[in-house]
Amino acid sequence: MSFGPSPWRQAHWDARAAGNFICGGAGAGSIVFAGLSGADDATLTSLILTGLALVAVGLTCVWLEIGRPLRAVNVFINPRTSWMSREAFTATLLFPAGLATVAGAPGWRWAAAALALAFVYCQGRMLQAAKGIPAWREPLITPLIVASGLAEGAGLFFFTSPLHGVGTRLSLAIFAALVLGRAVLWLVYRGRLSGVAAPEARAALDRTGRVLSVVGTLIPLGLLAVIAVATVQQAIGLFAAIAGLAAALAGAHLKYTILIRAAFNQGFALAQLPVRGRQP
């Protein structure tokens, strides 16, 4: 059914829109974690450029999703009320800040991290503003999207750790806290949608919840627990890379489900349907 009192899945945002949330969120999370990691010189440059590239890919995806791409400049028109406009403005500031960090300008790594955090926050608020879709308008969607973006960024950081060798016990603990925090937010978020979202949306969310629990939470936390007691450096790097990849892939799957598979609206909220020839 595509029209009527029963919920139906929205068709305005497709996989290209989801690509913005997946790539943009992970890229912004990578920039935030790069700023927190203490990496410098060539390592910081590669991490920042990778994060900016992912954000650019995400923005390109949403640009391709627009019916008339040449009118994309109109997204800057209404920053007073539109979170999409605010995301666009934040992105225009994020790229210069990231490039200034790469150029070695002092203090800009924190400005880039703050703007990246603001970028992923705008993504969460953009979803929450879609009031007709229960899976999007739930207030916990914003912290869930932010937590997932940060967990994905940390995951990508540790996935590439065998290449750059940067990582401390503290950064591993932050990664574990982000993974665990995302799982807790997910459980509360999913519980609040019971009896509110459409049955098809709840089924899609439950399938994704199982993936997030096993691949995105238990596997990374289990591997991080092994790393905590491991002494072989090669094993630590391998386990960290697997944990990071699992956390990042599970986050991407979670966002795709929320954006596409669980994006059912509430239908027409009619307490009483009119019947021809009968008085209400």
Q: Where are the domains of the chain?
A: 15-261
- 3-state secondary structure (DSSP) of residue 89: helix
Tens of pLDDT, residue by residue over 94-114, are: 999 999 999 988 889 999 999
What's the pLDDT score for residue 41?
80
Task: Give the C-alpha distances (Å, rounded to integers) separating 166 from 32, 90, 151.
Answer: 15, 28, 17
Number of C-alpha atoms within 13 angstroms, CB side, residue 207? 12
Amino acid, single-letter form, for residue 270: L
Task: Give the C-alpha distances (Å, rounded to integers) separating 191 from 2, 196, 197, 206.
Answer: 27, 10, 11, 10
pLDDT top residue among 269 and 251: 251
| Encoded tokens for 110 | 């924190």
Q: Report the candidate in 229, 124, 109 with the shortest Cα–Cα distance to residue 185.
A: 124
Lowest average pLDDT, out of 1-5, 73-77, 209-213, 251-255, goes to 1-5
What's the pLDDT score for residue 57?
96
Mean pLDDT, range 111-129, rounded to an integer: 95
What are the two backbone dihedrals, phi and then psi, of residue 110, each rounded to the nearest 5 degrees? Answer: -75, -35
Tens of pLDDT, residue by residue over 133-173, are: 999 999 999 999 999 999 999 999 999 988 877 777 888 99
- The CATH fold assigned to 15-261 is Formate dehydrogenase/DMSO reductase fold (1.20.1630)
Q: How confident is the model at residue 2 (pLDDT cuts 50, 70, 90)?
A: very low
